[in-house]
Amino acid sequence: MDIFAKLAATARRENKDGELPDFILPLLIKVAENPADFIGREALVAELVMRVEQYETWSELCCEKQGFGLEDIHRTLDHLKVRY
């Protein structure tokens, strides 16, 4: 499975079975379904996959950061120049 297919599968799984919000899913799928737009930036896509896999709604609530929050995912999407 390439990194783009992994992103699609991970995003859909985390949205369905996890806590990933519905509103972020279209941006993640936009990346996953348009690999030609992200040639040479596969490392950032891999980072995005990791952040989606480790997404926690409460990641910013305590003094120790655990997992990744929406801000982290949005920051990676910004680096990829993906917007709503």
Cβ neighbours, 10 Å, residue 17? 8
Is residue 70 in a domain? Answer: yes
State the pTM of this model: 0.89
Residue with the two structure tokens 């120049």: 81
| Contact by Cβ (8 Å): 33, 8 | yes
Is residue 84 in a domain? Answer: no
Predicted confidence band of residue 1 (pLDDT cuts 50, 70, 90): confident
Count of domains for the chain: 1
Q: Which domain holds residue 10?
A: 3-79
Mean pLDDT value across residues 68-74: 93
Per-residue pLDDT tens digits for 72-84? 999 999 999 998 8
Is residue 19 in a domain? Answer: yes
Please tell me the predicted confidence (pLDDT) of residue 56.
87
Please state, rounded to an integer, the average pLDDT across all residues of the chain.
91
For residues 8, 14, 77, 24, the Cα torsion angle rounded to the nearest 10 degrees is: 100
**In degrees rounded to 5, what are phi and psi of residue 55?**
-65, 135
What is d(CA 35, CA 5) in angstroms, rounded to the nearest whole number? 9
